[in-house]
């Protein structure tokens, strides 16, 4: 029966999904699950978790379902575009559901099928990973999800956020989009990823940015000014907290956090200073979050 053989062959050949289709498919899928689809936060953040739609909305008792893509910046991970696996700017797809639904694992595994990963064909593993963010004063328990040995998602039940206990508990899914696409598109170099189906590659969209931002983060950022800016942002945050304006106060925390990350990449923060700066960010974040929670009552 040659027909049947052909069919099987067609089936086993993995479908290539472009980078942008992967994002679109995840948005569509989570939209169908009742999530509010919001857009990326318009500010430099280190991870999707920092978006107020996650940090602030995970607090308080009101139910909340949200999904979005978030460009994330980690200045220390820059490699001038030379390394096939490292970027200082990359994309995370973020889902937050409060309270965590009973069938979240099923929802997650089904979401993998829409981006070309059928869990029956792959070794999907939930490997212990307890998450902590000292700058956010946040902690959670969960796993990193491995697909055939590669980490593709962070799966976390928030226990604490901005120093406050989470009740009810939210579940957060963070998909590493570049990694997932390198896996589904079978690419060894992130810059070879197909961005769309018209032959545009990741390289064309971001390679120059990687090069220039690596140079900025490691060599050219004016550290003297950045230290001053950090102080100013902290002051602004404190004054806004005093005036009980939560969201603009939280924005200052995000900005301060990014300034700190650049200073860190420039190598001008000593071990002892590090803990001090992180503590300062955590304090203003806590202040902003507390006002936000009170405003929800």
Partner 1 sequence: MAEFFLELFSEEIPPKLQKNARDFLLENFKQIFKEKNLKFKSSNSYSTPNRLIILFEGLDKEIKEKSEEIRGPNINAPEKALEGFLRSNQITKNEIYKKNTEKGEFYFFKKQEKTVNTFDLLEKNVPLILDKISWKKSMKWNDFEMEWGRPLKSILSIFDNKKLSFKFYHLESSNFTFVDKEFEDKKKIFKNFSSYNDYFNKRGIIINQNYRKKLIEKQLQKISERKNVNLEINVKLLNEVVDLVDQPHILSCKFDQKFLEIPEEILIITMQHHQKYFHTFDQKGNITNEFFVVANIKDNKGFIKIGNERVVDARLSDASFFWEKNKSQNLIKQISKLKSINYFEGLGSYFDKVQRMRKLGALISDEMLISKEKIELLTSICKIDLISDIVNEFPELQGVIGGYFASSQGFDKDISLAISEHYLPTGLESKVPKKPFSIALALTDKIDTLVGFFGVNQKPTSSKDPYALRRSALGIIRLLLENKKEFKITDLIKYSITLYRDQGFNFPNEKVQEELSTFLIERLKFYMKQKDIRYDIVEASIDSFSIDQASQMYSKALALNRVIIKDIGNDIILSYKRASNILENELKNKDLDLSNTTDPGIFKNEYEKNLYKKIHELRKYFTSINKDEDYYVTLGNLANAKPTISDFFDNVIVNDEDHAIKKNRLELLQMLCKTFDNYINFASIESIK
In whole angstroms, give the CA distance from residue 43 to residue 237: 16
Contact assessment for residue 116 and residue 17, using Cβ atoms and an 8 Å cutoff: yes
Structure token digits, residue 230: 């950090």
**Residue number, 106 or 244, with CB nearest to partner 1:** 106
Task: Identify the bridge partners of residue 131 per DSSP, sorted by sequence position.
Answer: 140
What count of other Cβ atoms lies within 10 Å of the Cβ of residue 239? Answer: 12
User: Which of 36, 38, 43, 109 forms a contact with partner 1 (CB under 8 A)?
Assistant: 109
**In the complex with partner 1, which residue's Cβ is closer, 164 or 169?**
169
3-17 CB burial, b ≥16 within 10 A, e <16: eeeeeeeeeeeeeeb
Encoded one letter per residue, x for contact with partner 1 by CB under 8 A and - for no contact, window 74-103 reads: --------xxxxx------------xxxxx
Nearer to partner 1, 4 or 102 (CB): 102
Q: Is 297 in the site for partner 1 (CB under 8 A)?
A: no
Nearest CB to partner 1, comparing residues 37 and 159: 159
**Contacting residue, 3, 4, 10, 188, with partner 1 by CB under 8 A:** 188
Among 122, 207, 238, 286, which residue interacts with partner 1 (rule: CB under 8 A)? 122
Told to check if 211 binds partner 1 by CB under 8 A, we report no
How many whole angstroms separate alpha carbon 171 and alpha carbon 152?
Answer: 16
β-pairing verdict for 36-37 and 64-73: parallel
Which of 149, 199 has the CB closer to partner 1? 149
136, 51 Cβ separation under 8 angstroms: no
Q: Tell me the C-alpha distance between 125 and 155, whole Å.
A: 11
CB closer to partner 1 out of 44 and 144? 144
**186 sits near partner 1 (criterion: CB under 8 A):** yes
Binding to partner 1 (CB under 8 A) within 264-283 occurs at 267, 270-272
CB 217 within 8 A of CB 78: yes
How far apart (Å, rounded) are the C-alpha atoms in residues 78 and 85?
Answer: 10
Q: Quick one: how far is CA 9 from the chain centroid?
A: 36
When asked if residue 150 is in the footprint of partner 1 (CB under 8 A), the reply is: yes
216 lies in the binding site for partner 1 (CB under 8 A): no
Query: Binding partner 1 by CB under 8 A: which of 125, 228, 243, 244?
Result: 125
Contacts of 1 (CB under 8 A, 6+ apart): none
Question: Using the rule CB under 8 A, is 6 a contact of partner 1?
Answer: no
Binding residues vs partner 1 (CB under 8 A)? 12, 14, 82-86, 99-103, 105-106, 109, 119-128, 130, 140-141, 143, 147-150, 157, 159, 167-169, 171, 182-183, 186, 188, 267, 270-272
């Amino acid at each position: 029966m040659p027909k049947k053989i052909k069919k099987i062959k067609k089936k086993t050949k993995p479908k290539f999904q472009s980078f942008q289709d992967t994002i679109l498919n995840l948005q569509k899928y989570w939209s169908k699950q009742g999530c509010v689809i919001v857009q990326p936060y318009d500010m430099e953040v280190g991870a999707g978790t920092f978006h107020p739609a996650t940090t602030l909305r995970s607090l308080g008792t009101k139910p909340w379902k949200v999904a979005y893509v978030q460009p994330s910046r980690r200045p220390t991970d820059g490699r001038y575009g030379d390394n096939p696996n490292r970027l200082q700017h990359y994309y995370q797809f973020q889902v937050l559901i409060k309270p965590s639904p009973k069938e979240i694992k099923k929802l997650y595994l089904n979401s993998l099928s829409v981006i070309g990963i059928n869990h029956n064909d792959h070794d999907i593993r939930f490997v212990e990973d307890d998450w902590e963010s000292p700058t956010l004063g946040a902690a959670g328990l969960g796993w990193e999800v491995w697909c055939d040995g590669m980490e593709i998602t962070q799966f976390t039940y928030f226990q604490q956020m901005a120093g406050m206990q989470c009740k009810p508990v939210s579940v957060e899914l963070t998909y590493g989009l570049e990694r997932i696409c390198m896996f589904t598109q079978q690419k060894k170099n992130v810059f070879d990823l197909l961005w769309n189906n018209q032959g545009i590659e990741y390289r064309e969209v971001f390679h120059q940015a990687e090069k220039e931002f690596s140079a900025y983060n490691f060599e050219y950022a004016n550290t003297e000014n950045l230290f001053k800016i950090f102080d100013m942002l902290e002051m602004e945050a404190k004054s806004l907290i005093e005036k009980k304006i939560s969201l603009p106060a939280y924005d200052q925390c995000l900005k301060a956090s990014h300034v700190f990350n650049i200073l860190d990449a420039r190598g001008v923060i000593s071990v002892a200073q590090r803990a001090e700066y992180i503590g300062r960010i955590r304090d203003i974040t806590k202040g902003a979050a507390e006002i936000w929670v009170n405003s929800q009552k």
